[in-house]
Amino acid sequence: MKILLVEDDRHSAEILLQLLADSHYTIDSAANAKAAWQYVTTYNYDLIILDIILPDSNGIELCTKIRKSGYTIPVLLLTAKDSTSDRVMGLEAGADDYVVKPYNFQELVARIRALLRRYSDRDTLLQEFVWENLCLDLRTNIVTYNQKPLRLTQKEYGLLEIFLRHPQQIFSRSALLDQVWSAGEFPSEEAVTTHIKVLRHKLKMAGLPIDPIETLYGLGYRLKPEPFPLMSQSLPSSIPAPLPEEDLVQKKMAQAQEIIATMANRLLASLPDKIVIFRQIVTALEKGELDADLQNEGYMEAHRLIGSMGSLGFPLGSTIARQIEAILKSDSSLLPTNVEDLLHLINDLEAIASSPKALPEKPLFQPYHTQLPLLLIVDDDANFTQEIKTEAKTWGMRVQIADDIVTAREKIAQESPAVVLLDLLFPDTADNGLTLLDELAQREPKIPIIMMTAASGLGDRVTAARKGICSFIEKPASSEEILSTVSQVLSQRQHDRSKVMIVDDDLLLLDMLRRLLESSDIEVITLQNPQTFWQVLELTAPDLLILDVVMPDYSGLDLCQAVRTSSLWHDLPIVFLSARSDRETIRQLFIAGADDYLSKPIVEADLYTRILSRLERSRNSRQNCRSR
């Protein structure tokens, strides 16, 4: 499979190139839109990974150009922007998926695999290719013979995949060069002959009794017809025992962690050069000599740092870079008053680069189960649930299975799933899917539920809809159809996720509130220094604002009054935190424009009730405005 990566951030590009190469994909890389278009019009690709902000163009414009020219290659957009309008513009331009920086690299690779499988195997939904007892697993990119793994290079894997994927097709050496080798490589056709010779040798040493690759002199190569199975077959005793799947996964994780750690060190080494650019901007700004080119250069450097620092385990650095990017926007006029803000942010960034123990602030590489959304399948059909669980890995989901309602309750109590796939009927028990549906309807926060049943009566659909399900699937249904529905629900849930910004100079309180609200599936932005309040507000666009009353420099009342004088934020719900609950203090809060207040110390039940009800009221108000 051949992928075009269009990314101008060298650090992120290098990590992706190595991780995807380790998964046996052939990668071409372009740092700008012009080079990317030349690649698209010259070579055939199975996927394009496209950053939105490029030095010479906009990634959305390039995506539109690709689609208008008739190319149907799947496109995955990468960007540091996370606004709804950007997502909509990207998808309307013809993109197939959208990932926001900073991203978890393992989850990104899982999304890439899902897109490749969805488009290359949309008709057959193949999970593996098999020839005799030789198996190429598309989910793990592992080749085995008699269930024992083979160690193949990227080129050997690519050649074998092409032959297994197109068993009757003849491939010339030049065609194989185009599909397996990257554009930056310039091997002769003899390189194909050499790699096929080595591949044949490895397959023979693994125990294959017949060479699976046929040479057609003057034409090329193709896969031989699969032989009839033999009644018995002795296997060489020298073949090593297969590694358990867990060990293979752990080995891949360790390799990826090593790659990312290397990239993190390179990033830290490159930070001083980027800081020099930011300081040049400050100097020019102080002298009143800042030109558009230097400002744009700084903006692009900050934009790249958002993704690379966040993805490599430096979330604080990513946050600082995002604030620098907001200040250096090309459509905003910089003022001398911005100097102090920039200097403060540059000093913080420099502290990360100059620290003798500069290490990532979070684990560099985490297993799937710590990152991916959880799908709970409640169904007593073991074959069906196992098929969904296996396929879900390539869609970037992890799965738990409950074969009855009691087990489902226990699993939900242990960990709240992102989506529940619920069968309606359980013949061996008095409970049915509607029983669990009634219980989950009373739960906060709500869990999206997809109902399944072999019955297709209108009554079942109406009853389930009244109880608040997200979707209804009639059995039998393919795993592709089911997981596509789950993916859509997850995507909608992410878009609908509420965002709360908290401003308080008490770090312990900020951390406590963040943990409490995130447990209710609310995205939380915390801010300790109110001096950067307006920049963070415009950058994050929260659905609700929580302000402490007493803070250094600017009080919560000052911030509230500033918000209420803005036409853009005039209707933003504001909740105050106050250690004082006397009548005069409360009166001042509401005069300033507060919608509600919470007394310190915070009572958890009050926090949930007040915040969730305000968010729900605000959401309903916005929906009513749109419907008018």
Return the domain boundaries, the chain: 2-120, 133-226, 248-354, 372-490, 497-627
What whole-number distance in Å separates Cα of residue 14 and Cα of residue 299?
A: 21
Other Cβ atoms less than 10 A from the Cβ of 30: the count is: 22
Residue 511: pLDDT over 90: no
Q: Strand 128-131 vs strand 134-137: parallel, antiparallel, or unpaired?
A: antiparallel
CATH topology of domain 2-120: Rossmann fold (3.40.50)
Query: Is residue 48 within 8 Å of 76, Cβ to Cβ?
Result: yes
* Tens-place pLDDT, residues 544-576: 999 988 787 788 898 998 888 877 788 889 999
Instruction: For residue 30, give the 3-state DSSP assignment.
Output: strand
Residue 448, pLDDT > 50, answer yes
User: Which of residues 10 and 362 earns the better pLDDT score?
Assistant: 10
Tell me which DSSP letter residue 396 carries.
T
The topology under which CATH files domain 133-226 is Arc Repressor Mutant, subunit A (1.10.10)
Identify the CA nearest to 153 among candidates 181, 178, 128: 181
Evaluate whether 372-490 and 497-627 have a shared fold.
Answer: yes
Question: Mean pLDDT, the chain, as a whole number?
Answer: 77
Cα–Cα distance measured from residue 107 to residue 208, given in angstroms and rounded to the nearest whole number: 35
The reported pLDDT for the residue numbered 501 is 92
Per-residue pLDDT tens for 130-174? Answer: 888 899 887 677 899 988 888 888 888 889 988 988 887 888 888
248-354 CATH pick, 1.10.260, 1.20.120, 1.10.15, 1.10.3470 = 1.20.120
Distance CA 6, CA 279 (A): 29
Q: What does the alpha-carbon distance between residue 385 and residue 371 come to, in Å, rounded to a whole number?
A: 22
Q: What Cα–Cα distance (Å) separates residue 215 from each residue in 153, 159, 166, 197, 222?
A: 21, 14, 15, 11, 7
373 in Cβ contact with 490 (< 8 Å) = yes
pLDDT surpassing 80 at residue 27 = yes
Where residue 377 falls among pLDDT bands split at 50, 70, 90? very high
Question: Please, which residues have CB within 8 angstroms of residue 376's CB and are 6 or more apart in sequence?
Answer: 399, 400, 401, 402, 408, 411, 412, 417, 419, 420, 421
Arch. (CATH architecture) of 372-490: 3-Layer(aba) Sandwich (3.40)
pLDDT at 241 over 50: no
CATH architecture for residues 497-627 = 3-Layer(aba) Sandwich (3.40)
How many Å apart are CA 568 and CA 579, to the nearest integer? 30
What pLDDT was estimated at residue 376? 92
